[in-house]
Structure 1
Amino acid sequence: MPLIFIAGGVRSGKSQFAEQMAARYCQAQRFIYLASGVALDQEMQQRILRHQADRQAQPIHWHTVEAPSAIADALAECKAGDIVLWDCVTTWLANIFYEGFDDGTPCFAQPGCLDNKLAQVKQAIEALLAQDIVLLVVSNELFDEPPYASHEVELYRQTLGQCHQWFVATAQEAYEIHYGIAKRWK
């Protein structure tokens, strides 16, 4: 079944676009929403609440799975006939990037940690796509800015870019959203 990749800037309309695309698959057994956001501040809490309200206003019922870091495990729980929307890669990557920070060494500073987590997610997605499951993946576009002076921020951005390249290469469809307007690239 298809992988559909959707990227765009912050508040570009990419989540709404993904939800509308998912609704086209009305024969789905379940609509699964994999949410990677964590309400660490008031702005993020408000964004999460807005996304939840938007989903509740739709004619389809979303089963929300909170998956701030364990996306591979959440994907493994999906079943044939599901429509799965993962929102979003950018947030998930930030979550795993700093996993272990409280113990003194974040994942990005641990040899092989990021590569291992990325490999697990890719493997889970490939297994998912071999089933009768549609997967829509949402991510932020962060590549219009010049390189950052901070090694840490630039490593995050480069890792996200590699993820985006893999998603687009694997996807049957790829879209970029600007100002609520979708451009199909693939």
Structure 2
Amino acid sequence: MSSRSTLVLGGAASGKSAYAESLFDARTGPLTYIATAQAYDAEMEAKIRIHTDRRGPTWHTVEAPLDAAAALERLSQADHCLFDCATMWLSNHLLAGSDLAAEQTRLVNAMTACPARLVIVTNEVGHGIVPENALARQFREAQGRLNIALAASADHVVQVIAGLPQVLK
């Protein structure tokens, strides 16, 4: 990742996105939000709306449910980017039948080359029990591998628990 990269991870509804957003100031330069969620139902539409409203109009949103690497490649050194979130991006690829290892490599390479200040949000899914079905186990393993790669490449890693940031790296 760029020399200005931060990985923010935490459980579902832990406050990680709000924390990640707090790391940015509209006065510092262009703010780009790379969105990976897709609204397939009213609940997800409402969640996306909450996130959009909380960010406000100073953010330029790029919808990239599958091709986040291309969105990252278009950023400049003057940009400030929030990629939210790697977990939804991974889910999208898993459900699309993509080659997860190849897509992970492509994403991490794009993040490494990205000249922008970059904050990546991802979910920590390894604290629970072993899932009962094969798809859920495949997702958990892929998410763990992705998080390991993202954390290894990031300059800073922060875990958010109950809205409280804990610096890991």
User: Over alpha carbons, which structure has the higher Rg?
Assistant: 1
Q: With structure 1 as the length reference, what TM-score do the two structures score?
A: 0.85
Query: Which stretch shows the higher mean deviation, 43-52 or 148-157?
Result: 148-157
Alignment pair present for 1:121 and 2:107? yes
Structure 2 counterpart of 1:174 = 157
- Residue 3, structure 1, aligned to residue 8, structure 2: no
TM-fit CA distance, 1:140: 1.2
Q: Aligned with 1:155: secondary structure?
A: helix
Computed over aligned residues only, the root mean square deviation of the Cα atoms, in angstroms, reads 1.3
Cα pair 1:75 1:125 within 8 Å, conserved: yes
**2:147 match:** 164
**TM-score of the pair, normalised by structure 2:** 0.94
Task: Report the counterpart of residue 28 of structure 2 in structure 1.
Answer: 27
In structure 2, C-alpha distance between the alignment counterparts of 1:38 and 1:168, rounded to whole Å: 25
**Which consecutive residues of structure 2, in runs of 5 or more, have no partner in the other structure?**
none
Q: Hey, what does 1:103 align to over in structure 2?
A: none
1:80 corresponding residue in structure 2: 77
Moved more, 47-56 or 115-124: 115-124
* Offset, 1:114: 1.4
| TM alignment of 1:115-154, pairs within 5 A | 115-128=101-114, 131=115, 133-154=116-137
One-letter amino acid of the structure 1 residue matched with residue 101 of structure 2: D
Give the letter aligned to residue 115 of structure 1. A
Q: CA deviation at 1:26?
A: 3.8
8 Å CA contact retained: 1:6, 1:137: yes
Consecutive aligned runs of 4 or more in structure 1 exceeding 4 Å deviation? none
Distance, in Å, in 1 between the alignment partners of 2:6 and 2:24 is 10
Query: In structure 2, how many angstroms separate the alpha carbons of the residues matched to 1:8 and 1:123?
Result: 23
Aligned partner of 1:155 in structure 2 is: 138
d(CA) in 2 for partners of 1:26 and 1:183? 26
- Cα offset for 1:98? 1.1
Aligned letter for 1:56? Answer: G
Pick the aligned partner of 1:67 from 51, 54, 64: 64
**How far 1:78 moved relative to its partner?**
0.8
Which residue does 2:89 correspond to in 1? 92
Contact 2:77 2:117 in 1 (8 A): no
